[in-house]
Chain A
């Protein structure tokens, strides 16, 4: 069966510090991978998605970046965090070849920037 791991679960970072959130998927190959951010009371905002190694599409221009160094690894980074980067970050995977683009989410990372 497929599993998705995301870490860290919680972090508190000062403004201007770097960020690295990691996500790995097991039990599948060549998954579609996604990074979302969820602000309180708002819908999920797609940040990045990837259909393969080294293939990253950015949906929202901001100070975040993503990388996919391996087939089942997806990393969200920032060189200098802003206060507005606080939120709940979710990694997800899907297998579009299965028809419906059903997303399976990681447990999430709650980021507080002070």
Chain B
């Protein structure tokens, strides 16, 4: 079967760095996505990785290792507004998205 695993909840301190991991087992691979979802709102796109390595976008970076079926989202200089759920999703061989359950990130002052 197809499976996406990510931690249910993480806590971090304002101004610090946090890494949210995602491991996957899917039928084929056509890219991995990270989305941010604030409570009660719709998810918004953060990043897309299709090749191995690190993609950086301001305070957020996303890493992919296809051989290990592994990705992480790195958030630097955490702000209170970063409190949200972070969803990992993999696009399979049919270009369908398989979603993880999301990681709820709690930022403490």
Binding site for B on A (CB under 8 A): 41-46, 90, 96, 100-108, 110
Contacts and interface: CB of A to CB of B under 8 A. Distances in A.
Interface of B is mostly: loop
A25 B42 CA distance: 15
Interface string B67-92: 00000000000000000000101010
Contacts of B45: 102-104
Given A43-B99, A106-B42, A101 B87 contact: no
A107 B48 contact: no
Interface in B85-109: 87, 89, 91, 95-97, 99-102
B41 A107 contact: yes
B44 interface: yes
Contacts of B54: none
B18 interface: no
A41 B100 CA distance: 10
A44 B99 contact: yes
Nearest to A36: B99
Interface of B: 4, 8, 30-31, 33, 35, 40-45, 48, 50, 87, 89, 91, 95-97, 99-102
A108 to B, nearest CB: 5
Contacts of B97: 44, 46, 101, 103
12 contacts: A45-B99, A46-B97, A90-B43, A100-B33, A100-B48, A101-B91, A101-B95, A101-B97, A105-B44, A107-B41, A108-B41, A110-B40
A96 B95 contact: yes
A33 B97 CA distance: 13
B50 A107 contact: no
A108 B33 contact: no
Given A100-B31, A102-B33, A42 B42 contact: no
Contacts of A102: 33, 45, 48
Contact of A43 (B42, B91, B101): B101
B61 to A, nearest CB: 17
A34 B44 CA distance: 15
